[in-house]
Structure 1
Amino acid sequence: MRLAASRVSWSAGGGDILKDVSLSVEAGEFLGIIGPNGSGKTSLMSLLSGIRKPRSGEVLLDGVPIGALGRRTVAQRLALVEQQAETGERITARQAVELGRTPYLGPLSPWSPDDDRIVDAALDNVDMADLAGRIWHTLSGGERQRLHIARALAQQPRILLLDEPTNHLDIGHQIGLLDLVRRQDLTVVAALHDLNHAAMFCDRIAVMQAGRLVALGRPRDVLTVERIRDVFGVDVAIEHEPDGGCHIRFRPGRTPPERRTAPAVALATTGT
């Protein structure tokens, strides 16, 4: 199943958040989206999921505009794990994961043993089976995030969208979760903060800067010293590995892009 954005733009609060972004992800591919805070990663994920409608352009799911598909149909094909998704209900960890089966339930298709089996497998996959009976609000942020992943897996999508999925996880669970996702028979799009995670797990990487797509390609082609300096405002050294991978070592001393560019914007405005 193919997911594509064709020249999508989106605005909020009177400002342009995304500007003429086009990209596609092919069946079975792991596409990473990286960029500094405010670059448009989360907004792009919300458009790709169909939660938000672009101001212009369109998002296509297997060639069909996602807005033309019913929410139930979209939910059976695509699952989104957001950065922050909470509930005020008093539910258990297992009940939170059972919500992933909602797109398949109805008057003629009640809960079945197959649903139980799918939920059990999802809990096992994220190493949360032993906490299935715990109340949601007693769980740590990392445990809740793992349950969000389990809920998405229980949804049995063809495409999995992850918006900064390793937030609140310790390093072991960060690597374990991305490895788990990588091994699923899924098409994956993940917004990531850690450039080394993107280099390690992604087939291709899309780089966002100020609402625009500025690079798209294989990790070793996209993650260059010059581009990382320009987009993130940090100096790095990059070690290329024989298998085509790369490892990034950061050097302190650079100012983040938003702080570096603010005075320049002010001067340019004054001079016009």
Structure 2
Amino acid sequence: MTLSASGVSWSAGGVEILKDVSLTVETGEFLGIIGPNGSGKTSLMSLISGIRKPKRGEVLLDGCPIGTLGRRTVAQRLALVEQQAETGERITARQAVELGRTPYLGPLSPWSPEDDAIVGAALANVDMAHLADRLWHTLSGGERQRLHIARALAQQSKILLLDEPTNHLDIGHQISLLDLVRRQDLTVVAALHDLNHAAMFCDRIAVMQAGRLVALGRPREVLTVERIRAVFGIEVEVEHEFDGSCSIRYRARRPRPLAAIAAVGA
């Protein structure tokens, strides 16, 4: 199962949000997309998921233009977890995860014990089985986010798209969920804010800046001091580990001494 974008561009309100972006997601890899707010991460996720149609270029899912495939076909091959997905319906946590089985249900394929088992396993994987009967509106933001992940796992697609999946989660659940996703037999594309998460879990990282793809490669190739400074405007130290991985240490901007400020103004 392959997913690729070829020269895709997208505009909103007369403003070009994405500009000639091309990338191919390798089967079985964990691809991270990073970049500052407004760099085009979410817009790119919307295009490669088929939610939006590019103004120029095309997105191919398993070699076929994604816009030519039916919604059920796309949903059976690709699952998306968006940043914000809420409902006003009075549904339980389990019922929210059961929605992941919708692409497989029909008059000739009603709900089955196998569907029950898949949903139960997905709830257990995100540590939400004990809250399966709780109503959606009584759950915290972090609990709802974990259910979104469970719903995507219950969908059993081969490609999983995650748009900032660790929003609202405490650090323990951030790490455990990314680790869970990494251990699945899936192709994963995740838009991430935390550079250390990208370094820790991603096979490759795509860097977005002002709507353009400015770098694509392995974490230690992409996460350099110079590139992080140029893209994010921050100073860091990058530590390289013996196993080829790397980690980012952020350096706080120190206020200028009062004497130096006075000297400048003199």
TM-score, scaled to structure 2: 0.95
For residues 199-248 of structure 1, the C-alpha deviation after alignment (integer angstroms, 9 at most, x for no partner) is 00000000000000000000000000000000000000010000000010
Tell me how far 1:26 sits from its aligned partner. 1.0
Aligned pairs for 1:85-100 within 5 A: 85-100=85-100
**Aligned alpha-carbon RMSD (Å):** 0.6
Larger Rg: 2
Task: Establish whether residue 238 from structure 1 lines up as the match of residue 238 from structure 2.
Answer: yes
Q: Could you tell me how far apart the structure 1 residues matched to 2:204 and 2:234 are?
A: 22
Q: Could you tell me how far apart the structure 2 residues matched to 1:107 and 1:237 are?
A: 58
1:202 is aligned to: 202
The one-letter code matched in structure 2 to 1:83 is: Q
Aligned length, in residue pairs: 254
The one-letter code matched in structure 2 to 1:161 is: L
Tell me how far 1:13 sits from its aligned partner. 1.1
For residues 41-66 of structure 1, the C-alpha deviation after alignment (integer angstroms, 9 at most, x for no partner) is 00000001000000000000111100
1:104 is aligned to: 104
Task: Establish whether residue 183 from structure 1 lines up as the match of residue 186 from structure 2.
Answer: no
Gaps of 5+ in 2: 255-266
Q: Could you tell me how far apart the structure 2 residues matched to 1:62 and 1:163 are?
A: 21
Identity, in percent, stands at 87
2:163 is aligned to: 163
The one-letter code matched in structure 1 to 2:16 is: D
1:113 is aligned to: 113
2:259 is aligned to: none
Q: Could you tell me how far apart the structure 1 residues matched to 2:10 and 2:192 are?
A: 21
Secondary structure in 2 matching 1:133: coil
Q: Could you tell me how far apart the structure 2 residues matched to 1:200 and 1:48 are?
A: 24
Task: Establish whether residue 146 from structure 1 lines up as the match of residue 164 from structure 2.
Answer: no
Q: Could you tell me how far apart the structure 2 residues matched to 1:252 and 1:19 are?
A: 32
Gaps of 5+ in 1: 255-272
Q: Could you tell me how far apart the structure 2 residues matched to 1:36 and 1:166 are?
A: 16
TM-score, scaled to structure 1: 0.93
For residues 107-138 of structure 1, the C-alpha deviation after alignment (integer angstroms, 9 at most, x for no partner) is 11000000000000000000000000000000
Kindly report structure 1 stretches of 4+ aligned residues shifted beyond 3 Å. none
Secondary structure in 2 matching 1:177: helix
Task: Establish whether residue 17 from structure 1 lines up as the match of residue 13 from structure 2.
Answer: no
Q: Could you tell me how far apart the structure 1 residues matched to 2:220 and 2:2 are?
A: 24
